[in-house]
Amino acid sequence: MEAPQWYVSYLRRVFQGLSTGEIKPLYVNLIFETMTKFNHMKSHLNYSATADPSKIINVAPEEIIHKNTNTILSRRGLGQIRNGNWDRDVTVWRDGAPHHGLKQRFKQGIDWKETDYVKHAKQRLEERNSYRGHESVDDFIKYRCSFLDEMHESMALNGWSLNCDQFTTGKSTNVGRSSDADFIPWPEHRYEPFACIGRDGDIQRRQGAHRITIAEIVGIEKIPMNVLVRHKQWQEIRDEVYQARSYDELSERAKKHLDHPDLQPFSVEGRPE
């Protein structure tokens, strides 16, 4: 089987990482990709509606209400299927400074220094002496905020750009740091925003607040997301829809989710229009 293009590009960057000293992201990427393959094989053994981890789902930004805060999930690869209460570890992410600050900047035209986003960065810098790779507010505005200005302009003109496309062409997928020339992307920078799908189909973001917020501001109707994890109960709904020979065979719970982005690959005969 021919190796995926992203993997070929990844191997090229291994040598770059060895020369630049950025070994940790390379190691994390290797574990992440290995776990993704393991998750896919495991799901094949236990479920019928197995999803290709590399396939994206298209989600309306306004449908993403919650951020999942369960840190255990982040480095264990795409396509996880997990039981338990991890899908209850959530916050309403639009209450945060990035969402408010970006709306102040791009909808109200407020100077970066006056936004909640930069005020939040200033507070973090006072607490930690470093924030997102920056050691001063001036550097944060110069690099990070300028990058967000460019992202907003690009999305307004060209729509959403896939991270995987930028990665395979060698373009940094996480500019906005003070030194990006030899940047080795972490897994979350090489994919689209990670989706965690709860037991009732709730699509929770794991990261990607900036891109999702800007997409919403410029009016992008659907954004691509990679599924990091599905709750076991949600996967059982996927299996039920996949196996159904007709609409009448479905449970009421499954019927109400037929328009869900994660169920779009399946068609059900006799479904009412």
In this prediction, residue 269 carries a pLDDT of 78
Under 8 Å between Cβ of 232 and 46: no
In this prediction, residue 120 carries a pLDDT of 95
- Indicate the DSSP class of residue 4: P
In this prediction, residue 23 carries a pLDDT of 55
Which residue matches tokens 């970066």? 112
- Indicate the DSSP class of residue 144: I
In this prediction, residue 176 carries a pLDDT of 46
In this prediction, residue 8 carries a pLDDT of 55
Domain range list for the chain: 5-258
In this prediction, residue 62 carries a pLDDT of 94
Integer-rounded Cα radius of gyration of the chain: 20
* H/E run at residue 66: strand 66-68
* Strand 223-231 relative to strand 203-205, pairing: unpaired
Residues recorded for the chain: 273
The torsion region of residue 14 among left (phi > 0), alpha (psi -120 to 50) and beta comes to: alpha
Question: What is each CA distance from 259 to 43, 56, 169, 271, in whole angstroms?
Answer: 23, 16, 34, 11
- Give the angle subtended at the CA of 210 by the CAs of 209 and 215, to the nearest 5°: 100
pLDDT of the chain, 273 residues: tens digit per residue: 555 555 555 555 555 555 455 556 667 778 888 999 999 999 999 999 999 998 999 999 999 999 999 987 788 899 999 999 999 999 999 998 999 999 999 999 999 999 999 999 999 999 988 888 889 999 999 999 999 999 999 999 999 988 765 544 444 444 444 444 344 456 667 789 999 999 999 999 998 999 999 999 999 999 999 999 999 999 999 999 999 989 999 999 999 999 999 999 888 876 776
The C-alpha atoms of residue 29 and residue 185 are separated, in whole angstroms, by 8
The C-alpha atoms of residue 64 and residue 216 are separated, in whole angstroms, by 11
